[in-house]
Every structure is written in structure tokens, then in C-alpha cells.
Structure 1
């Protein structure tokens, strides 16, 4: 018994030291901020909440069970047999781009958006591992990026959907912060950025259904059904969201991470129709279907938001669940066909015109 207690105490001390001094964990929301967040309809009892009472709060033993299940379950074809090859883009092409509104996918949920002369990053997770430390996760599917972070030109804005490691990456932020004009986040996520040396004046935090003007663009923070937290003791201390990005000519929806719920129809009714919706599709399991959509729900959510076409995201980057890595794209394509909803499937690095009818191959089929 004494030995067990000593081991537990040592583990607690190591964990506290790791989370308090290792910068990847980010910042903590101050008491002052917590008081300010009480004005939000989503903030109750010291935490942010979904409209529906999910996810269920897991006990420590239940968290260990889920972790054990994840790390010990063998998944056939859980990741590509070979590194995914990406289509390269040139830094000069990015810097001098004056064409129609376009996107470039970096895998998973990370994008470069160029619209109305602005260069914007969406959930720029360009790191190797979606975890606080390289030893705690597996490498991304594509070792190379379409363009090296260091070669990215001036960035007008960075938009984050929430603070999980596969969306908000410390090393990426450190490499782009000095060339980025402004950061947009849901409530609380700016605390991580401030802990990493970004001035509060360069951060705008929004609540659900709030709009903000960014020059000629309108950015709208919209609901999602998910959760947050970068360590064991700060879950739901920051908000999660989806985003609507509108120019004079285009409307883009970025789902962030979300389970399927009525908010998609509410967003579609208020802001739709959308020229393109970037819809979460991957890293799902029936054990956590409240916070990550199944592929068939992704297609239905595309209909709900009134998208003219959808692009499945949150796949093709990391193994964060127990499904075949091709399962998300194959299943969402099948369901979207039933719903008569167009689906685009660009390669990593391939140009995506927001208002365009480009043809994309099923590039993953023979990998």
C-alpha cells in the first residue's frame, strides 16, 4: 500500500511539473476571465457547455479505460502504408496571389484560405504529432507540407475552432505569430495564445452567434457540439465553435469539430446557403458519437447548412480513432450520393476554388 501511494504521488508530481512548465499546454483562464464568461449562455458552473448535455463527464477510471481502448486496439489499415505525397505550392504564388477565392488543404482540418487579397489560416496544425509531446502520439500521414511554415508569407489572420492538439499546435503558433496580423478564436482560446507571447490586442475572442468585421470580410462564430481542454484539469474551460466566413461574393462554412445536432440547420437557416462547407468527417467512434459525427451524419449536416458542395475534413492527417483511414471518405461519399449532395476530394496541397466546379480524383483508393 505504501509503495502504491508513493508511485501515485510521484506520478502526480511529475504530471503537475510537466503541465506547469512545458509550454505546449498553453495558458489557464484567469478568475477575472471566468467572471466575464458568465455573460455567455454557454458558460455555467464554471465551464462551457453544449446546448445538449454532452459529452458525459468521465471519471478518472473511465478516462483510463478509453485511453487503454485507444492505445491497445489494433486497427487494420488504420493509417496509409506509405507517406502521403502532397502537391507543392510556391511561396511566391501564395504571396502574389490575386485570383478567385481559394483554399489549400494541409491534411486533417488545416487550410490556407486566400480571399479578397487576404491570406488566412484555418486551424493551422502543421506539427508532426497531435499531442503535447512527440512521444505521446503517432506521426501525421504526410511528412511534408504543401509549403514549409517558414516560407509562408505575411498572414492576415488565423482562425481557430478550439484548443485541442490536432487544431491548435504550439510549435506552429510560435513559427507564425510574428508574421500574423490578427488571431480569431472562440472564448478562452486566446489565453493559450497570450501564454505563447501573442499580444492581447492581436486576439479577438467571440461567443456563439457573434459576428466581427475583418476589413471587407465578416467572420461569424457559430455553434458546434464538442468539448475542450489541453490537460486533465482544464476541460471545458474554453469554448469550441464553427465559423462562417463571408466576402461580398463567397460564403464559406468551417465546421471545426462537432457531433451531429440541430445547430447545423440553425446555421444554415441564418447564414446559408454556402458555396462550400468544410465538414468534419473522421476520428469518430460510437463511444464518442456525441462529439464527432459519423460520416453519414457529415453528409446530412452538409444538407442542413445548405451547402452547394462539401469537402470532408478531419481525415487524411492523423490516426486519432479506431477506423480504417479510408472509411470516412468512402462512407461520406456514399451517403452524399443518396442525398444528391456534391462532394469534393482534393489532394493535400491541391488548389480548391470556393466558387468553382473542379474535378477531383479518388486519389486515396489505391494507397
Structure 2
């Protein structure tokens, strides 16, 4: 029974399985080019490989064996204190890795969150599902006042109920793809605090310019709501610096389009983890992550979506080890921060391959 519940929770993170919408539907997003037949869709991509059937994926999780997907040794974590955050230069742009794809940003003195997940499990259940390898570097109650919170999509490893419920009245403004606003309202967020975006829509808030951009993924939080909400990558512009966040995505030509439109990024947060040949179109291998980074014309490649949850069949070190070797060969400036590490955009740093030697 527990394994079945685990699979139900996990399946929504990597492959999804839902009945298509049928009949008439209330379509508030009918003007979106991404919204067709009552669901959101990825644009055509002839390079995208098909996923395995739902039955094959379910069968693999039921009967397959995992090796090395969960660390034996403790993942290193640098505790972050409110005093440390306050001491960061108010004129600079800083990013602190919280784990997986979760980040705390201090943008010219104001605090922002990206896909914050402080919960113990990424699952619809509190007692089963992928459990975090490490604790966050700071507690939810130690977060400073948050000016803005950015979400890439509604999967459990990016949209976390206990986190949002705690932050509901503690965040000034939420920035989300189309349809995700209703999820937040259900978690206690006031509707007037939420701004929904289609791809290429932009807005400015407190001196930060945000643009939702394409990604190649899917959405859903159960077996019956696949693709009822949109997914997105994001561009964050603060002062003269630009940050790109891929969200979750398979490799597609949209990365090149983003690079051409914005002319490059000071820092590119690129998904690198939870890939598998059974679902090749919705997550990127390290080789594809590097290709995406080159397409968006980043200066520093900062890899995310790894080191916190067991979401695939590759070893937990594989995303980091492979991308580090590729970056060295291509002379790419790589950022693989320790959990809790502060990276100040535009400032020199020494990158540590912290996973080496850990089991």
C-alpha cells in the first residue's frame, strides 16, 4: 500500500497520467497560444523524443531497482543566519541555494524566493513520497520579509503546500504561470497578491523586471489534472544584471530564442537532474543542460534540480559529476554551490566539487 501511495505521489513529478479534457470547458485562458482543447500544450518540437508508456513507467517503479540514488553520507549544508543575510551588500544581487530548485535572492536589498520547498516530502501525502536528503540551510520562520515569490509550475517539488501556507501572508507578491494562481488561493494566498503570466508577458515590481518565458514540460498535481496550468522559465532583471531560471524543461529550441531575445545572462540557473530515457522530453540530461546554457548565452552556469530529492534512477552525484566534466572541457564557468552558499552575481568565486568523495 505504501509503495502504491509513493508511486501516486511520485508519478506526477516525472511523467503524469490523466484523462484528456472532454466536452465544453470554462476557458479563461483561451487567448493564450499555449491553451488548446481546454489544456496547455508545448509547442511542436521535432527533436523531442517520446516518453515511455504510462504502464512501462509504473511497472519500472514497481519492480525496478535503484542503486545510489540516495546519499549515504550527509549532504554538506552551510547554515544561513538572518544576520548574514542582512550583511549582504544592498546594492548587489545575491542568490542563496536552499536545495533542489529552491533559492532565496537578495536583489538590491529586497528578498525574493524561487520555487521554495521547505517541506519534508515532495508529495500529496505527509507520510510517504520522496523525502529530502538534507534540511534547508535556514528555517521558514527565519526568512526575512519576502517582496516577491516566483513559481515555475505546480509540481510538488516546486510548489509545496506547507511552505506556501506558512508564507501566505508573508509575501508581498506572487508571480506564477497561468492557472497556478488558483492553487495558491486554495493554500490561503489572497488573490490580489497573485499575478499570472503567459509566456513572454512581463511586469516590473519594486525595481525588478520579470518575464515569463517558454519551457518544455507539463503540469499537474494528481492523476486527473494534467496540463490544466501552464509551466514557464523566468527572466529576472535587477539593475544592470539579468538572471535566467529554466524551471523544469526538456531541451527545445526555445532556449535559443530566449538567448537571442535577451542577449545573454549574467547567471543562468539551468535544470540538471531527474532525467531518464523513459521521459526524455520533460527533463534534460547534463549534456542537454550544457546545450541549453550555451543557447541562452549565459556567463555562469548554475545547475539546479539536484542533490535534495530522489526523483529518478540515476545516482544522486551523476548530474553534478557529468556537468562538471562537460563544463571543464568546454571552459564554461560552472557554479555548483553547497547548500546554503551565497553567490554574488558578477563577483569572482571559487567553485567546489563538494560531492566528490561522498557516497
Q: TM-score, normalised by structure 2?
A: 0.89
Cα distance in 2 between the residues matched to 1:50 and 1:287: 18
Q: Residues 101 and 71 (structure 1 numbering): CA distance in 2 closer, same or farther, change over 3 Å? A: farther
Cα distance in 2 between the residues matched to 1:155 and 1:313: 21
Taking only aligned residues, the RMSD between alpha carbons, in angstroms, comes to 2.2
Specify which structure has the bigger relative contact order, considering alpha-carbon pairs within 8 angstroms and separated by 6 or more residues. Answer: 2
> 1:20 maps to which residue?
none
Cα distance in 1 between the residues matched to 2:49 and 2:200: 21
Mapped pair 1:65 → 2:60? no
Per the TM alignment, residue 118 of structure 1 is displaced from its structure 2 partner at its CA by: 1.1
- 1:229-244 to 2 correspondences below 5 Å: 229-244=220-235
Residue among 233, 244, 248 paired with 1:257? 248
> 2:130 maps to which residue?
138
- Normalized per residue, which structure has more helix? 1
Cα distance in 1 between the residues matched to 2:76 and 2:325: 25
Which residues of structure 2 form unaligned runs of 5+? 9-20
CA contact (8 A) 1:272 1:307 kept: no
Q: Deviations over 1:292-340 (max 9, x none)?
A: 0111010111010000010111000101000011110111122223332
Q: Tell me whether 230-239 or 126-135 shows the greater mean CA deviation.
A: 126-135
Cα distance in 2 between the residues matched to 1:77 and 1:198: 39
Cα distance in 1 between the residues matched to 2:323 and 2:41: 28
Mapped pair 1:106 → 2:98? yes
> 2:300 maps to which residue?
309
- 1:279-318 to 2 correspondences below 5 Å: 279-318=270-309
Alignment coverage as a number of residue pairs? 336
> 2:264 maps to which residue?
273
Cα distance in 2 between the residues matched to 1:361 and 1:96: 23
Residue among 304, 314, 326 paired with 1:323? 314
Which residues of structure 1 form unaligned runs of 5+? 1-10, 16-28
Residue among 194, 210, 219 paired with 1:219? 210
Larger Rg: 1
Cα distance in 2 between the residues matched to 1:321 and 1:210: 32
Mapped pair 1:125 → 2:117? yes
Q: Deviations over 1:270-310 (max 9, x none)?
A: 11310110000000001111110111010111010000010
> 2:150 maps to which residue?
159
Cα distance in 2 between the residues matched to 1:105 and 1:296: 22
Q: Deviations over 1:224-282 (max 9, x none)?
A: 00000001111000000000000222100001000001000000001131011000000
